[in-house]
Amino acid sequence: MQLTKEEFKNRLKRKLNDYYEEDIDTASTSELFAAISAIVRDGYAPQWRRTRIAETKQKEKQVYYFSIEFLPGTLLKSNLLNLGWLKTVREALSDLDKIAEYEPDMALGNGGLGRLAAAFMDSLASTGYTGNGNGIRYKYGLFKQKFVNGYQRELPNDWLKKEGHWEVRRESKSVLVRFGGKVNMVEDNGWLIPQYEGERVVRAVPYDVAVVGYQDGLTNTLRLWDAEIPPEEELNYPTISDRRRVEDLTSILYPDDSNYEGRLLRLKQEYFFVSAGLQSILDYYITKLGNKNFAQLPDYVAVHINDTHPAMAIAELMRLLVDEHRVDWDTAWNITQKVMSYTNHTIMAEAMEKWDVNMMSELLPRIMQIITEIDRRYCEGLKGRVSDAVIDRTRIIKNGQVQMAHLAIIGSHSVNGVAALHTQLLETEVLKDFYNLYPERFNNKTNGITLRRWLQIANPELSDLLDQTIGKEWRSDSNKMLNFEKYYHDTKVLNQLHEIKLDNKKKLAKFMKEQTGIEIDPTAIFDVQVKRMHAYKRQTLKLLHILKLYQDLKAGIDHPKRVIIFGAKAAPSYVFAKQIIKVINETANMINNDPDIHGKLKVVFLENYNVSLAEKIIPAADISEQISTTTKEASGTSNMKLMANGALTVATMDGANIEIKDAVGEENIFTFGLNKDQVYKYYAEKSYHPRKMYEEDPVMKKTVDALIDGTVPNCSSEGQALVNNFLSDNEQFLVLADFEAYLKAQEKVEQTWAQKRIWQQMSLVNIAHSERFDSDKTIERYAQDIWHLKKLKIEKVDR
Ligand code: 26W
């Protein structure tokens, strides 16, 4: 029996009356939100229980996805959708969208990596695999971004303050995690066991969040750990500052790592959630599955290391097996390698984590001993088989630092990149030595997105059009979206597509007006770049394009109306990224207020980009800017979301852009710029001389000079910093090298925009082919190739 409108209203009335003595029309938004979320929790509770029972009965292998970031966004609508209730509740409550806005984003991540982790949680549950997330319950999510005089200011994001949480505190599942002190190895029956002295003990308390699978999927668990003082240790934490140190452990996401204290805290966080997660996995294995034979652990457990942040899982599992459960080293190592798998998300050197040996020895003495032993055995095992140089390049401990990527690769059976080009670069450039040693470990898993969120929730109008044309099956089987291509010549459908986009643009224009006061014409080209602010993503190239358009318009050269929309946060300690924000904001101010432009060009930098804001911007986009320096963007995922919503991509041949091009065909995407060989040639030959390009190209010169000749006001030092960067031979992101090609691609955009029908046809092809990037498909590949999972069998339930 499906939930009816009447039944939902009855339940809502009951909750409101019980909790607050209010009715639907007298209750406040927060009360309505709390009551609806309680109904939703009641709705998924039976399935959550059934999933747990099925897990212990069927004993299928489970994956534990260890990630320092999870970025689910808001959960009310996605839980409603996955329960099959969204439509009913929408009909019952006309202001559902307003009520849903009350929910703060669960922003426990920075960007793509965290969003991918959340998408994978959803897809595991939806496709019927038991998968558990393991992460940190940060008290403050990613900072709230405000602009003050065009500068980024960071405010705390106190997301837990509000009503109606999705989490359940599981105090009985708490475990202890140890830091610092000294460790002495003492003999016990021929076994060396560690004795700890003077260490600090912290209690890890799990908060479980239900991950509701789509329709008849499973309800899995995302387990987030909070740090507390163990009750039995109160006396060891006598002062407020002692207590605060424990609270700080899970207080903020990515504390500033530009200083020693910040890095130390980060290292603590990494060990904290890794140790807690593994302890709870082994507890479950022993008590619930009743198994003490650890040699079988890989048949029941897969642990996935999402980027290097959880790589200490390898050493911690060794510690638990060898020290706590007395498994001999070789057997334990064999188990560990079979259990662990690792995804690399970047080739950028600065994001490849390295920890100071001294810092690690002080904070985690036993873990450091174990890593040292792993490293010693690794080197010894290869000696004589490969050159000393290879051993030296690939070993874990080098120059007083622990190379976390090396630990992750050496301790895992699988290493994957996140798009075809990225994996290829790992194999042939970045991790070449490892690829030569262990080619069988390397594989590609191109990223994906939850089409449920980005189409069904964010763009219900487009979803309805798909229903009316190709039928509803695409909602559970994305392959069916390819049928949408059959409407390529259907004028009615093409017009509907246009109307839906226009409608979404009107809504966004209204929102932007409310947020920024800027008046927007919804018929203009909506040109969108939304992603972390980073030099390699080249928001700067977009800035130069804006300046070029501005100068043209001032000189009477016409262009179609365009609105350029940015959403981006800069890491708090990333000075250059913050300078870019300031310059874009000043440029926007100048252009938006220049009467000579007659509204032909607008630039809107929306504050506080997050998942919820993405849900507003993406359905309204005409153009998707994916303009990173080729080789630098591992995959990108906003490119996929924008494509699914019918935006046309302007792209370098980087990351997953290449696969988007393969899917839609050259004629349905605007590609430009240096290819990977040209980029590497510049690096190898040190032949990049941007100043020469700038001197010789008057258009480029005039555009770049706008940043320092007083054209863009109020940012002379930031403008100068950008120009110095552009003109330096060491500018590794090659902004000026791609400038001309980028302008050409944008001219092509303008010409195509003039041919409305062709534009709509291209848009339709992009929507149809976004099925390729459905994260359900990605997760099937992980489940089969890496984790070797089988689906859980579970009966249908009435809700
Ligand atoms: C060590 C400091 C650090 C940690 C995390 C630097 C940067 C990060 C990022 C937040 C990592 C990240 O989000 N990477 C992105 O991962 C996506 C999912 O695979 C890819 O699509 C993006 O290309 C990649 O930049």
SS3 call for 272: helix
Round to whole Å and give the CA distance between 460 and 327. Answer: 54
How far are the Cα atoms of 177, 304, 582, 592, 593 from residue 603, in angstroms, in the given order? 49, 41, 13, 7, 10
Round to whole Å and give the CA distance between 571 and 579. Answer: 12
pLDDT for 261 equals: 87
- How confident is the model over 13-32, as pLDDT tens digits? 999 999 999 999 999 999 99
Q: Is the pLDDT of residue 1 over 60?
A: no
Question: Could you tell me the two tokens for 288?
Answer: 């619930």
How far are the Cα atoms of 407, 699, 726, 727 from residue 692, in angstroms, in the given order? 43, 13, 11, 9
Q: Is the pLDDT of residue 2 over 90?
A: no
Q: Is the pLDDT of residue 228 over 90?
A: yes
The region, left, alpha or beta by phi > 0 then psi within -120 to 50, assigned to residue 383 is beta
Round to whole Å and give the CA distance between 454 and 451. Answer: 5
Round to whole Å and give the CA distance between 726 and 315. Answer: 43
Instruction: Tell me the best of 345, 416, 628, 775 to mutate to test the pocket of ligand 1, counting ligand atoms within 8 Å of each CB and taking the most.
Output: 345
- How confident is the model over 37-92, as pLDDT tens digits? 999 999 999 999 999 999 999 999 999 999 999 999 999 999 999 999 999 999 99
How far are the Cα atoms of 361, 533, 534 from residue 569, in angstroms, in the given order? 34, 6, 9
pLDDT for 799 equals: 63
Distance from Cα 35 to the centre of ligand 1, integer Å: 36
Q: Whose CA is nearest to atom 14 of ligand 1?
A: 113
Q: Whose CA is nearest to atom 3 of ligand 1?
A: 351
Question: Could you tell me the two tokens for 658?
Answer: 């290449």
CB 620 within 8 Å of CB 505: yes
**Considering just the CA atoms, what is the radius of gyration of the chain in Å?**
27
Kindly report the pTM of this predicted structure. Answer: 0.97
Distance from Cα 530 to the centre of ligand 1, integer Å: 14
Q: Is the pLDDT of residue 470 over 60?
A: yes
Question: Could you tell me the two tokens for 667?
Answer: 């004629």
Least Cα distance to 118 among 254, 212, 50, 45 occurs for 212
Q: Which atom number of ligand 1 is nearest to the Cα of residue 343?
A: 19
Round to whole Å and give the CA distance between 384 and 475. Answer: 56
- How confident is the model over 197-214, as pLDDT tens digits? 999 999 999 999 999 999
Least Cα distance to 612 among 34, 142, 223, 85 occurs for 142
Q: What share of the chain has pLDDT > 90, as a percent?
A: 95
Catalytic annotation, residues: 345, 531-532, 537, 637, 641
> Is 322 exposed, middle or buried, given 0-12, 13-18 or 19+ CB atoms closer than 10 A?
buried
- How confident is the model over 154-173, as pLDDT tens digits? 999 999 998 778 999 999 99
Least Cα distance to 33 among 162, 160, 161, 164 occurs for 164
- Range list of β-strands (E), 607-762: 623-626, 648-651, 670-671
Residue 146 pairs with which residues in a beta bridge?
153
End-to-end CA distance of the chain: 7
pLDDT for 594 equals: 98
Mapped to the 3 state alphabet, what secondary structure does 524-557 carry? CEEEEEECCCCHHHCHHHHHHHHHHHHHHHHCCC
Distance from the Cα of residue 446 to its chain's centroid:
14
Average pLDDT, the chain: 96
- How confident is the model over 321-348, as pLDDT tens digits? 999 999 999 999 999 999 999 999 999 8
Q: Is the pLDDT of residue 288 over 90?
A: no
Residue 154 pairs with which residues in a beta bridge?
145
Q: What are the pocket residues of ligand 1 if the criterion is a CB atom closer than 6 Å to any ligand atom? A: 110-113, 116, 345-346, 351, 353, 418, 447, 633-637, 655
Least Cα distance to 250 among 355, 177, 171 occurs for 177
pLDDT for 257 equals: 78
Residue 289: pLDDT band (50, 70, 90) is confident
CB 655 within 8 Å of CB 426: no
Q: Whose CA is nearest to atom 7 of ligand 1?
A: 351
Instruction: Tell me the best of 346, 352, 574 to mutate to test the pocket of ligand 1, counting ligand atoms within 8 Å of each CB and taking the most.
Output: 346
Residue 798: pLDDT band (50, 70, 90) is low
Distance from Cα 346 to the centre of ligand 1, integer Å: 6
Q: Whose CA is nearest to atom 1 of ligand 1?
A: 351
How many other CB atoms are found less than 10 A from the CB of residue 677? 11
Distance from Cα 712 to the centre of ligand 1, integer Å: 32
